[in-house]
Structure 1
Amino acid sequence: MIVVVDGAARGLSERIRNVRAAGDAVLIADPRWSDSQRAGIARRASGTAVPAGTAWATLTSGSSGAARIVLRTAESWEASFDTVADLLDAGPDDILALPSPPAASLTLFSLAHAAAGGPRVRLGVDAAATCLHGTPENLRAVLDRGAPDAMRVALVGGSAVDPALRARAEAAGVRVIAYYGAAELSFVAVDLGDGLRAFPGAELDVRGGEVWVRSAFVASGYLGSDGPLRRAGRWATVGDRAEWDDGRLRLRGRRDGAILSASATVVPEDVEVSLREIPGVRDAVVFGMPRPGVGALVAALVEIDAGAAIDLRAEAGERLAPSHRPRRWFVGEIPRTPSGKPARAEIARQVEDAPWCP
């Protein structure tokens, strides 16, 4: 059965150990959930039978819609523990900071690793932290506050790490290990600074523009619902689009995330990379706004550094083809999922009737 565990930091590791010792699967509750949210998740978790051997249940980020419960065995995470420790060059004496909530799959992974003898973990970031596992936004926030003197390496997933953020971290003495993965697939590819290569223990293939992976890290499936995870024998995909570029994997977003605007197909991630290169832009999310006759307008929500004065249209015009330039601009704070990823579905909902920048 799945046991929903209180995600409050105090005593969390012990609560997890107790559930696992009883042979049950762990699903961490986010303390920020409302009572009704928690009750709904608990009903879903307790009302459906789970496959034998299920050890962990995690929620997808819900960045593009409703979150799903992903089921996985203990072995599916244990198979990558040694590789992660080697990449971090970290052992039981290190302290791994976890800025994202324990309900996030990347945080729960590190909690499971710690229970198996990996680096000790701290929820949040303190001066003793030697390592970090989080999202690009987590890393950016740490650098904004001033990285702890002891911190030497960051394992960063959830979304792409732009070159400026990597350079800023390395200037502060923090080595960046970026990776591409998914709650359903775990680790797929790793970028040590020269592009994405297959994560050790994973085989990659690009079929019909989608990235497929064969590894021991793939989850068992979903609890009582369907999702984007598809299988073909031992290979699996969640529909992320990709291509090979000089031996490196270049991600191009989810197949269902492309924007069809007039006669052009616009990949949001391609535009976002260019917008993040604009001096003073902290982060950017690109999405489509449906419009009759053209399919969708390319739109962007941009977070700008305090005090920065930017002509976004002019800067975009220098970097992007006309078909890829946003036609609607919104400036403000980007809504995020509990793990720190941009909440794309929420962004599209919020801006539909919001004033845009002329």
Structure 2
Amino acid sequence: MCTSTNQSKRAFVRARCSSKGDYTNDCLFCRWRRRATRMSESYTGAASTTADVLWAAADSHPDRMCVTELDRADGALSYDGMRRRTAATAGALRGLGVEPGDRVAVLLPNSIEYVATWLGAMACGSVVVPLNVRLLRDDYLHMLSDSGSRILVTEGAFLERFPELGRLPDLRVVRADGTGPGSLVAARSAGTPLDRPVPRNGDDVASLMYTSGTTGLPKAVMLTHDSWRSVADTAIRVLGFGTDEVTLHVAPLTHGAGFLLPPTLMKGGHNLLARSYDAARTASLLTSRGVTGMFMVPSMIRMLLDALPPGYVAPATLRRIYYAGSPIEPATLREATEVFDGRLVQSFAQMESPMFFTVLDQEDHVRAARGPRAHLARSAGRVLPEVGLAVVDAAGVPVPCGQPGEILAKAPQTMAGYWNRPQETAEALTDGWLRTGDVGRLDEDGYLFLVDRKKDMIVTGGSNVYAREVEQVLLGLPGVRDAAVIGLPHRIWGEAVTAVLVPDGPPPPDEEILRGCRSALAGYRVPKRVVWMDELPRNAYGKVLKRRLRERLSVTSGTAPQ
């Protein structure tokens, strides 16, 4: 029996439990069930939104530093200053006609204005729609239209690149930079600052977080206020947040890094914001700014290690580097564990239930790097107590220990569903269980190992790339008769998007293929390598055998592509 899988363990002890349904016994099942009930009850009813957290923190310690924008000389606000900026932003949105439940899109880099708009939208009861700054025009047009956003807060640079954003019907564009008409500054001057955040229920939608669907078309995950609070509470407990936190945000707040903003506010910590990631600068900031923690994806850790000066010693103030988003290369894990003295924490989840299903803690990292448990370097960690996790076969039956199957999870932070997609919501959620689409296995010690992804997704640098989307672009290029896109191991990016092509006549130059991709795809989706073949391997049903391609190219190259 796989004693550490939550579902298997509960089933095992429940069979030996004499409880009649009151869960009063002292057995493992009753203790777990009482705890699960308390967790469920704690995330219902009136919500303490992230905006409420800011207001409470400003009441408790108004003069403590809240946010510093590292790329601006005057970019620092105390908790009282951040509350006033957020209250004014919320008032501006209300003055522009935003009502509770309306969607407010934010297309900004890490900045004080991003935080003020994100919190201000929550404070006035609206739904925040964060937009990744790395996407292309068609992505933004789809997301703004699909979400029905009434307001887009952005910068002039984005409007210059994508003037179509300003011509969408029923969308008002507000510039966060500048002071003229149509600016956020002008809207704040015309509006009345909000005294307190608008009350919201825990199950009210707080944000729409866009991710890619099975066809590659972005779809919006509905995260409630309870979802955000659950992630924050778990982060404080699992990552060991204290009252003197200094959180460095070098990854986009629109994704993983943004989930460390609420717990930092809850503990009255200081948020340091960088508009973009620079590895050498980050190494310096860790020491000069007394950083206690930050979020990264594995490719950022690899770049950080490569940028460190000889003889680098991790500062004593640094408590953790928390990473997620994609598997980490074992060699990078071992090197980072040594350089940062074991202060690494990894988690596995997905946007539909953010950040925390399993955790590979600091002790696990040390054992993987220095001890006899080297295999843990490929693990996603162990299941958290409040999370139900099962590995099942195609019929939904739990598989034996060590056998691969689809990962199902049940957690307090799980989404309410996909925005305006009832069919896909029903397919993803069953009785509160989320079908992750990931294939994994659990070992006898309860460690989860990711095996593959059911939906042909490539994770490169923490970003999701769907092969089919890239293949469609490739098949539209001159000189390409057939195409398959796979991910191959890469020491920096985790996986490198690799195009395997069959030419239609003499193969065109690789650079010509890449240039065609750059014109149609966001940068991280563009293949890093092009391979030409006479034919693609297919099964009897005509499906490309991508596993065979991965095996063949790995053997042929001998090393991971660089």
* TM-score, L = length of structure 1: 0.70
Q: 1:236 to 1:75 in 2, by over 3 A?
A: same
Is 1:24 the counterpart of 2:126 in the alignment? yes
Q: Which amino acid aligns with 1:24?
A: S
Larger radius of gyration: 2
Counterpart contact for 1:92–1:120, Cα < 8 Å: no
Q: 1:159 to 1:32 in 2, by over 3 A?
A: closer
Q: State the match for 2:22 in structure 1.
A: none
Q: State the match for 2:413 in structure 1.
A: 217
Is 1:3 the counterpart of 2:104 in the alignment? yes
- Higher mean C-alpha deviation, range 284-293 or range 34-43: 284-293
Q: Once the 2 structures are TM-superposed, how far is the Cα of residue 136 of structure 1 from its aligned partner?
A: 0.6
Q: Which amino acid aligns with 1:145?
A: A
1:326-352 CA-to-partner distances (Å, cap 9, x unmatched) read 55899866xxxxxxxxxxxxxxxxxxx
- Higher mean C-alpha deviation, range 128-137 or range 53-62: 53-62
Q: State the match for 1:241 in structure 2.
A: 439
Q: State the match for 2:227 in structure 1.
A: 76
Q: Once the 2 structures are TM-superposed, how far is the Cα of residue 116 of structure 1 from its aligned partner?
A: 3.6
**Comparing both structures, which one devotes a greater share of its residues to strand?**
1
Q: Once the 2 structures are TM-superposed, how far is the Cα of residue 58 of structure 1 from its aligned partner?
A: 1.1
Given candidates 159, 166, 182, the residue that maps to 2:333 is 166
1:70-113 CA-to-partner distances (Å, cap 9, x unmatched) read 11101112123233123322224212222221222x12222233
Is 1:87 the counterpart of 2:238 in the alignment? yes
CA distance in 1, matches of 2:324, 2:222: 20
Q: State the match for 1:15 in structure 2.
A: 117
- 1:7-156 mapped onto 2 (5 Å cutoff): 7-8=108-109, 9-34=111-136, 37-46=139-148, 53-60=204-211, 65-104=216-255, 106-117=256-267, 119-124=269-274, 125=282, 126-127=285-286, 128=289, 129-146=291-308, 149=315, 150-156=317-323
Counterpart contact for 1:190–1:199, Cα < 8 Å: yes
1:256-315 CA-to-partner distances (Å, cap 9, x unmatched) read 3399xxxxxxxx88x84xx76xxxx87544879582545335446xxxxxxxxxxxxxxx
Q: 1:31 to 1:282 in 2, by over 3 A?
A: closer
Q: 1:38 to 1:188 in 2, by over 3 A?
A: same
Q: Which amino acid aligns with 1:2?
A: R
Q: Which amino acid aligns with 1:221?
A: G
Q: State the match for 1:178 in structure 2.
A: 346
- 1:267-286 mapped onto 2 (5 Å cutoff): 272=489, 283-285=494-496
Structure 2 portions without partners, runs of 5+: 1-101, 151-200, 275-281, 365-375, 394-404, 459-485, 501-534
Q: State the match for 1:251 in structure 2.
A: 450
Is 1:190 the counterpart of 2:359 in the alignment? yes
Q: Once the 2 structures are TM-superposed, how far is the Cα of residue 170 of structure 1 from its aligned partner?
A: 2.1
CA distance in 2, matches of 1:63, 1:156: 25
Counterpart contact for 2:213–2:219, Cα < 8 Å: yes
CA distance in 2, matches of 1:64, 1:328: 30
- For the residue of structure 2 that corresponds to 1:11, the secondary structure is helix
Counterpart contact for 2:221–2:418, Cα < 8 Å: yes
- Higher mean C-alpha deviation, range 34-43 or range 107-116: 34-43
- For the residue of structure 2 that corresponds to 1:213, the secondary structure is strand
CA distance in 1, matches of 2:213, 2:558: 24
Q: 1:299 to 1:108 in 2, by over 3 A?
A: same
CA distance in 1, matches of 2:549, 2:552: 12
Structure 1 portions without partners, runs of 5+: 260-267, 301-321, 334-358
- Higher mean C-alpha deviation, range 170-179 or range 34-43: 34-43
- For the residue of structure 1 that corresponds to 2:217, the secondary structure is coil
Q: 1:89 to 1:64 in 2, by over 3 A?
A: farther
**Comparing both structures, which one devotes a greater share of its residues to helix?**
2
Counterpart contact for 2:232–2:262, Cα < 8 Å: no
Q: Which amino acid aligns with 2:105?
A: V
Number of corresponding residues: 294
Q: Once the 2 structures are TM-superposed, how far is the Cα of residue 241 of structure 1 from its aligned partner?
A: 0.7
CA distance in 2, matches of 1:108, 1:25: 15
Counterpart contact for 1:101–1:123, Cα < 8 Å: no
Question: How large is the Cα RMSD of the aligned pairs?
Answer: 3.6
Q: Which amino acid aligns with 1:224?
A: N
Q: Which amino acid aligns with 1:55?
A: A
CA distance in 2, matches of 1:99, 1:212: 31
Q: 1:296 to 1:158 in 2, by over 3 A?
A: same
- For the residue of structure 2 that corresponds to 1:291, the secondary structure is coil
Q: 1:98 to 1:224 in 2, by over 3 A?
A: same
1:104-161 CA-to-partner distances (Å, cap 9, x unmatched) read 2x12222233344464332334332221112111222222233863433111110112
Percent sequence identity over aligned pairs: 20
